[in-house]
Amino acid sequence: MKQRAADGWHDGWWRRARRIVSPNRGPRPRGSAVELAVIHSISLPPGRYRGDAIERLFCNRLDWDADPYFDSIRGLKVSAHFVIRRAGALQQYVSCDERAWHAGASSWRSRADCNDYSIGIELEGLEGERFTVAQYRRLVGLLRALERRYPLRWVVGHEHIAPGRKRDPGVGFDWQQLVSALGWPRERVPPAAAVSAQAGA
């Protein structure tokens, strides 16, 4: 889907993100509208920040023998549309008009295969730990841009679309801060996240 460069988008790529093209992508099903944003957390190895391991993973160039942890994910082929690094740097790996491989087996509101109709956003971090002010600022700007471009209705965590299988972004993610900054009604986040937000978690 083409748009003028003046609005910040071109063929699903956002000009404010550094483009790094992942081969792990595919077409969305015909007629599928982007209605969901899924927040993840990632660090490779877990708890270690900076470096280029995330980029290498998403581009199928990770040296599986570089760290003992990598052996547990050997051969994994995944991607996300966006990665927000700890200092707020924004990377884009897949056009938002295409399907990234981030959600896996998943369902939202009884609709399966969330990859078909979602945008995957990875925050560099560890599930259960806190994220940075710079990351929240960048995330808010990105979600606003996505809302202007696509019929985005909800923002959820990976834990909400794959309960029992995934736990990210976890209790360290501040849903109240996100909802307040966006000015969105709480109905646009999962019920469990809304309860946590009301409790100030």
Q: Is 75 helix (H, G, I), strand (E, B) or coil?
A: coil
Look at residue 47 in the predicted model and tell me its pLDDT: 96
The CA–CA distances, whole Å, from 38 to 46, 66, 110, 123, 149 equal 20, 29, 16, 11, 16
Q: Is 35 a catalytic residue?
A: no
Q: What is the pLDDT along the chain (201 residues), one digit of tens a residue?
A: 444 455 799 999 999 999 999 999 999 999 999 999 999 999 999 999 999 999 999 999 999 999 999 999 999 999 999 999 999 999 999 999 999 999 999 999 999 999 999 999 999 999 989 999 999 999 999 999 999 999 999 999 999 999 999 999 999 999 999 999 999 999 999 986 754 544 443
- Rounded-to-integer distance, Cα 11 and Cα 172, Å: 34
Structure tokens belonging to residue 61: 């160039």
Confidence (pTM): 0.93
- Rounded-to-integer distance, Cα 92 and Cα 57, Å: 14
- Rounded-to-integer distance, Cα 81 and Cα 99, Å: 8
Structure tokens belonging to residue 94: 């897949």
Look at residue 20 in the predicted model and tell me its pLDDT: 98
Structure tokens belonging to residue 171: 């209790």
Looking at the chain, how many residues does it have?
201
Are 94 and 80 a contacting pair, CB within 8 Å? yes
Look at residue 7 in the predicted model and tell me its pLDDT: 75
Neighbour tally for 194: CB within 10 Å: 17
The CA–CA distances, whole Å, from 50 to 13, 29, 44, 187 equal 24, 35, 9, 34
Are 86 and 21 a contacting pair, CB within 8 Å? no
Each as own residue / partner, the long-range contacts of residues 113-118 (CB below 8 Å, 24 or more positions apart, any chain) are 114/36, 114/38, 114/161, 116/28, 116/29, 116/32, 117/28, 117/32, 117/33, 117/34, 117/35, 117/36, 118/34, 118/35, 118/36, 118/37, 118/38
DSSP H stretches of helix in the chain: 53-58, 133-149, 158-161, 175-182, 191-198
Q: Which CATH architecture has domain 5-198?
A: 3-Layer(aba) Sandwich (3.40)
- Of 35, 55, 122, 187, which residue is the catalytic one? 122
Look at residue 194 in the predicted model and tell me its pLDDT: 54
Look at residue 201 in the predicted model and tell me its pLDDT: 36
